[in-house]
Amino acid sequence: MVNFQNILVPTDFSVNSVQALEFGHLLAKQTRAILHVLHIIEPVYNANQILDDFNEKRFEQARVLDAEEELRRFVNKISTQGIDIIEALNPGKPHEQILNYARKNHVDLIVIASHGWTGLSHLITGNVANKVLRYSDIPTICIKSNVPLQKETISLRNTFAENWVG
């Protein structure tokens, strides 16, 4: 059986992220791993052109408080019984912060949701899941969006390693 100690599920609170959270939760429960749920607060560019220093600090504080509350609501969508969950918020570029968090916290597996590619915008800007998959040294599972999770078929009895995208 595969032995994970730390599983990371990055989230942007989307519906697709819920599927990744459910999958990460199932794996954590089966392996008795700690489940890390991470949200990245992206920087707001040009905020200083609109806001003065005082209002910019209040704006950032409000964003952090909103993100903390949303993270609590997001994690409450699953049963926390039987596993330890660590909720984390980090500021910065999402793919960089996900990879930094994974390294610093000795994560054994990243479970991330794909959001599908929307035309040419993906070719120009890329997306977070794609960048995490490309740059991660840590095994990563990308849960395909809009595909129902079949919980009864998930098994960790096979020890063969392979890249898997659902």
The CATH number of residue 55's host domain is: 3.40.50.620
Q: Is residue 74 part of a domain?
A: yes
The whole-model pTM stands at 0.80
Q: Is residue 162 part of a domain?
A: no
Query: Into how many domains does the chain fold?
Result: 1
Q: Is residue 44 part of a domain?
A: yes
- Report pLDDT digits (tens) over 62-117: 899 999 999 999 999 888 777 999 999 999 999 999 999 999 999 999 999 987 55
Q: What is the dihedral of CA 66, 71, 74, 78, to 10 degrees?
A: -150
**Cα–Cα distance between 35 and 7 in angstroms, integer?**
5
Q: Is residue 159 part of a domain?
A: no
Q: How far is CA 121 from CA 40, 78, 117, 134, in A?
A: 21, 33, 8, 18
